[in-house]
Amino acid sequence: MARTPADLVGANPGPSFEITMDGSPVTALPGQSVAAALWSAGILAWRTTRKAGRPRGVFCGIGQCYDCLAVINGEPNRRACLVPARPGDVITTQEGHGHAGLSV
């Protein structure tokens, strides 16, 4: 029985690289989405809701629910389940609509 998903499909990816989540390093594999990299680091939430400030992360996994919105390299409202991770990406928790810094 396979111990990991990578074992199951015989994955042999290129060298892993680092991104950061709220300043902490997270290891990503080439080809993984930002959300997949965060999941493999055990991080399930990277957004707080506008009204109750509750944590959220991936729900639908296919770009339909918009629960996984994150601030990626300073840009808010990116769907982390769709955006591929790139070396050096800076991911930060999206608070509310992600535009608080713009005072709009």
Partner 1 sequence: MPASASDPYDLAVIGAGSAGLAGAVTAAELGLSVALLDASSQTGGQFYRHPAPSLKAARPEALHHDWAAFAELRRRLEQSDVSHLYGHHVWAVAKEDNGLWALHAVTGVDGTAERSVRVRARTVLLATGAYERQLPFPGWTLPGVVGAGGAQAMLKSGLVLPGRRVVVAGSGPLLLAVASSLAAAGAQVPAVIEASGYLGYARRPRALAANPQKLVEAAVHGAALLRHRVRLRTRSAVTEVHGTDRVEAVTVTRLDRDWRPVRGAGRRIECDALAVGHGLAPQIELATTLGCATRPLADGTSALALDGLQETSVPGLWAAGETGGVGGAQLARAEGELAGLASAARLYGYHVREGRVRELQRRRDRLRAFADAMTVAHAPGPGWTGWLTDDTDVCRCEEVSAGSIREAIADLGARDARTVKLLTRAGMGWCQGRMCGTAVACLAAREGAVESSAERRPFAVPVPLSVLASLDEPAGIEPDTAPGVDR
- Chain residues in the site for partner 1 (CB under 8 A): 1-14, 29-33, 35-37, 39-40, 44-45, 49-52, 54-67, 69, 75, 77-79, 81-84
Helix (H) or strand (E) holding 94: strand 94-95
Considering the complex, state which of residue 63 and residue 88 has its C-beta at the smaller distance from partner 1. 63
Helix (H) or strand (E) holding 76: strand 75-79
In the complex, the smallest distance separating the C-beta of residue 72 from partner 1, rounded to whole angstroms, is 9
Q: What Å distances lie between residue 17 and 10, 54, 67, CA to CA?
A: 20, 30, 25
> Contact, 34 vs 104, CB < 8 A?
no
In the complex, the smallest distance separating the C-beta of residue 18 from partner 1, rounded to whole angstroms, is 16
In the complex, the smallest distance separating the C-beta of residue 81 from partner 1, rounded to whole angstroms, is 7
